[in-house]
Structure 1
Amino acid sequence: MTVLDAYCNIGGTGMGFWLAGFDVVGVDILDQPRYPFPFLRGDAVETIAAHGQRFDLISAGPPCQFDCTLTVGTNQARRDRYADLLEPTREALEFTGRPYVIEQPPGRASRRMRIDLTLCGEMFGLRVLRHRNFEAGGGLRLDRPSHVPHRGRVAGYRHGRHYDGHYFQVYGNGGGKGTVPEWQQAMGIHWTDVRREIAEAIPPAYTELIGRQAAAQIGVMDEAVAS
């Protein structure tokens, strides 16, 4: 089975699908020299529309700057710098006719999605929360695991005081957010030691779960189409 990992970044998403048994090809508009699988540099929406039908599954996590909290209200001018990629990405995915999944963080973008699944690091025993929402399409169905209660604080500084905690904040550089090895362990990402790359990824455990569900359905869907 094959998956197109669109907006692949460093490959947290792709690694999860690989662990679930997929051959992975990534596409991103920027070079990703530490991406661990075959890589295409190019526009994700154009690549999905032109080549997505060749893959058994397509995964897409469009950049969320257009809808993030840093571009709300008085920061509208900052928002205007970014393209709204969610709708064009969905249109390209639907055009292929292939099973797909869209990933977004909580926020305004997720309010424009059908949220079929929400995942959190605690569900996988990871020391990071990193909630992410997923919309499935093209006949793919995702089962919802139970959202496990969180265990205590996130480590870091609050109002000048440092707190120990079970979880790490995997973003930024200050605030006692943890070392690079701690981030790597918390996220399950070990093929890069660049903070920015780790911070922009999702834990591979998320898409390994999705990939195993997808793998169980894809053969059945293809047989149905063939008959």
Structure 2
Amino acid sequence: MTVLDAYCNIGGAGMGFWLAGFGVVGVDILDQPRYPFPFLQGDAVGAIAAHGRRFDLISAGPPCQFDCTLTAGTNSARRDRYADLLEPTREALESTSRPYIIEQPPGRASRRMRVDLTLCGEMFGLRVIRHRNFEAGGGLLLDQPPHVPHRGRVAGYRHGQRYDGHYFQVYGSGGGKGSVPEWQQAMGIHWTDVRREIAEAIPPAYAELIGRQAAAQLGGAPASRAA
């Protein structure tokens, strides 16, 4: 089985699909020298439309800056710098007639997609909360696991006061958000030590869960692999 990992960034999703038994090819507009699988640099929407039919599954996490809560609120004056990629991505995915996944963080973009699955780091014993929503298409069905209650606070500063907590804030660089090794451990990402790359990824455990559900529906046998 094969998956096209569109908007692949450093490969958080790609690693999860690989752990679930898929051969992975990534595509991103920016060069990703630490991406751990075969990689094509180019426009993700164009790559999906041109090559998506060759894959058993397509995963796409378009950048969310156009619709994210921060851009729409605090940084709203900068919103016109970002392209709205959600609808063009969905159109390209639907044109392939292949099973697909769209991933987005909670917020404005998620209100423009059908949320078939919501995942949280605590479901996998990770030290991030990092809710992410997923829309499934092309006949793919996803089962929603129970949402596990969170264990206390996220560590860091709030209004000048430092709080300890079980979870790390994996974004930005200030506010007591944790060290690179702590981020790597919290996310399950160990093949890069670049903060920005870790911050823009999803935990591989999310895509592994989706990949195993997809593999069962596609008739593939999940592999046993160690990250």
TM-score bracket for this pair, using the shorter chain length: over 0.9
Counterpart residue number, 1:69:
69
TM-score normalized by structure 2?
0.94
- Written as runs of structure 1 = structure 2, the 5 A alignment for 1:63-102 is 63-72=63-72, 75-102=75-102
* Mapped partners of 1:140, 1:158: distance in 2: 41
Unaligned runs of 5+ in 1: 221-227
Deviation, 1:70, is 2.8
Over the residues paired in the alignment, what is the CA RMSD in angstroms? 1.2
Cα gap change, 1:75 to 1:158, in 2 (>3 Å): closer
Q: Compare relative contact order (CA 8 Å, sep 6+) and give the higher one, 1 or 2.
A: 2
- Alignment match, 2:175: 175
Runs of 4+ in 1 over 3 A off after TM superposition: 73-77
Q: Which has the higher helix share?
A: 1
Which one-letter code corresponds to 2:169 in the other structure?
Answer: Q
2:21 corresponds to which residue? Answer: 21
Letter in 2 for 1:28: D
Q: Cα deviation per residue 1:154-199 (whole Å; 9 max; x = unaligned)?
A: 1111222211100000011111111100000000000000001000
How far, CA to CA, are the matches of 1:211 and 1:115 in structure 2?
Answer: 17
Residue 26 of structure 1 aligns to a residue in which SS?
strand
Q: Offset at 1:75?
A: 4.6
- Letter matched to residue 215 of structure 1: A
Residue 78 of structure 1, CA deviation? 1.4
Cα distance in 1 for partners of 2:170, 2:199 equals 5
Q: Which amino acid aligns with 1:27?
A: V
Matched, 1:141 2:141: yes
- Is the partner of 1:9 in helix, strand or coil? coil
Report what 1:187 is aligned to: 187
1: CA distance, partners of 2:87 / 2:200: 21
Count of aligned residue pairs for this structure pair = 220
Q: Distance in 2 between matches of 1:118 and 1:2?
A: 23
Instruction: Summarize the alignment of residues 125-140 of structure 1 with structure 2, pairs less than 5 Å apart.
Output: 125-140=125-140
With structure 1 as the length reference, what TM-score do the two structures score? Answer: 0.94
Indicate the residue corresponding to 1:223 in structure 2: none
Q: Name the structure 2 match of 1:56.
A: 56
Cross-structure match for 2:36: 36
Aligned to 1:163: 163
Partner of 1:204: 204
Partner SS for 2:219: helix
For 1:130, give the aligned amino acid: R
Q: Distance in 2 between matches of 1:161 and 1:73?
A: 23
TM-superposed deviation, 1:81: 1.4
Cα deviation 1:114-164 (Å, max 9, x = unaligned): 000000000000000000000000000000000000000111112222111
Deviation at 1:76, TM superposition (A): 4.3
- What is the alpha-carbon distance in structure 1 between the residues aligned to residue 45 and residue 38 of structure 2? 18
Q: Hey, what's the Cα distance between the residues in 1 that align with 2:160 and 2:80? A: 34
Aligned to 2:116: 116
Structure 2: gaps (5+ residues):
221-227
Q: Distance in 2 between matches of 1:183 and 1:74?
A: 25
Q: Distance in 2 between matches of 1:187 and 1:107?
A: 21
Determine what percentage of the aligned residue pairs are the same residue.
90
